[in-house]
Amino acid sequence: MPNSTAGSVHTGGHAEDLADKPLVMIAEDDTELRSLLADTLIEEGCVVRTAADGRELLAMLSAVSRGEIPMPALIVTDVRMPRCSGMDVLAALRLAGWEVPVVIITGFGDGQVHANAGTLGAAIVLDKPFDFDTLRAVVRLSLRSANAPLSSTNKEDATLESARPTKRDRT
């Protein structure tokens, strides 16, 4: 039976261990970096779902709102990706009232990106190239602060179906 949600699931363990591990969703269009991010977070004890772009991430989050997959404890997303940016995803989350922590990663970390991410409530912006030890520390702190797993502030009213970004697709 095909999986109706986008993205790949990476566990780093047995299925029976999944309930005790926080779920982290990653959106990154660079395949190699996406794999490195997933491997790093699995080493930190997380279950990871990956997406190749913001639209795939939004599809996974829509599955969360429908109760098909659990709420992520943390989202890590690139800013510039095809079809939908990480900032568009962050804006959609906040518009829907979701408070899940979001770590933004970017190769274009100018002051405007940092300011916009802060305004939208990103936990932190990491400029590429970043140190993976810094990423680990940020993830640990975010998960501890968030008391993972989180839920939306009003799950029944806060669906991402109606909060999809309206900006044009990015390349």
Closest CA to 89 of 51, 128, 131: 51
For 68, list phi and psi in degrees, rounded to 5. -80, -30
Angstrom distance (rounded) from CA 33 to CA 81: 13
Tens of pLDDT, residues 16-73? 455 689 999 999 999 999 999 999 999 999 999 999 999 999 999 999 999 999 999 9
**Cβ(35)–Cβ(9) below 8 Å:** no
Residue 33 φ/ψ region, left for φ over 0, alpha for ψ in the -120 to 50 degree band, beta for the rest: alpha
Q: Give the rounded distance of the alpha carbon of 125 from its chain centre.
A: 13
Say what the pLDDT of residue 145 is.
80
Say what the pLDDT of residue 97 is.
93
Start-end of H helices in the chain: 31-43, 54-65, 86-95, 111-119, 132-146
Q: Which domains does the chain carry?
A: 8-144 (3.40.50.2300)
Say what the pLDDT of residue 114 is.
92
Report whether pLDDT(128) > 60. yes
pTM for the model = 0.79
